[in-house]
Amino acid sequence: MVNYPNKKQGFQKQKQNYSNRGMNFENMINETNEYYLAHDIAVIHKKPIPIQIVKVDYPSRSGAVIKEAYYKIPSTTDYNGIYKGHYIDFEAKETQNKTSFPLSNIHPHQVKHLKKIDEHGGISFLLIFIKVLDEIYLLESSDLISYHNRSVDGRKSITFKEIKEKGQLIPEGFAPRVNYLKIVDYLIEKKG
């Protein structure tokens, strides 16, 4: 949804935040990945949405029409690819919440998948767009797993305070919009 300029603000300078550029988080990341690809920085793609196809019609020779299909629960994350020879894997989520990120936003097998990638030497993480703060954080999967384990008999969410402490703030930019590879550079360095 486009956020039209608010008349009441008059001539006040408007902060060009993520939200009022009228784009959802998925599109922001896709745009960023297109930038990386076009500039030969990384090859990272969004996976298609998993669908169970039940009925397909062939009304003409030109092509098939899917007439009945259902959404399936994804078994992996939305994004993966390669950067500087490293396997990259992540999930991206936005939240409208005011104080915390609910862990119910991520399927348990997605957490398990990120853990596996970590164990196999890849770089895996969660990108969280906190709309109320207009900030995007990268949370390493090792931290996500800790919070996920805590949720078994404790808090079912990660507070924004915790995300700010453990996560890395993604620097805001124009091109690329969500320059998360800046933080991945740091993760690669840390890996040694």
**Within 10 A of 181 (CB to CB), how many other CB atoms are there?**
21
> Is residue 180 near its own copies by the rule CB under 8 A?
no
Q: Angle 77-1-29 (CA atoms, 0-180°, nearest 5)?
A: 30
Structure token digits, residue 87: 């396997």
Distances from the Cα of 143 to the Cα of 48, 132, 146, 162, angstroms: 27, 22, 5, 10
Give the interface segment with its own copies, choosing from 79-87, 151-159, 170-178, 182-190 (CB under 8 A).
79-87
Do residues 140 and 128 touch, judged by C-beta distance below 8 A?
A: no
Cβ proximity to its own copies: between 89 and 143 the closer is 89
> Is residue 38 near its own copies by the rule CB under 8 A?
no
- Which of 3, 17, 21, 45 is in the footprint of its own copies by CB under 8 A? 45
Distances from the Cα of 64 to the Cα of 49, 57, 58, 61, 97, angstroms: 18, 6, 5, 8, 41
Do residues 141 and 107 touch, judged by C-beta distance below 8 A?
A: no
Give the interface segment with its own copies, choosing from 6-14, 60-68, 97-105, 168-176 (CB under 8 A).
60-68
What is the nearest approach in angstroms of its own copies to the Cβ of residue 123? 10
Cα 100 to Cα 112: distance, rounded to the nearest angstrom: 22
> Is residue 83 near its own copies by the rule CB under 8 A?
yes
- Which of 23, 26, 31, 87 is in the footprint of its own copies by CB under 8 A? 87
Cβ proximity to its own copies: between 69 and 169 the closer is 69
- Which of 29, 92, 111, 117 is in the footprint of its own copies by CB under 8 A? 117
Residues that bind its own copies (CB under 8 A): 37, 40, 42-43, 45, 47-51, 53, 63-72, 75-76, 80-87, 89, 113, 116-117, 119-122
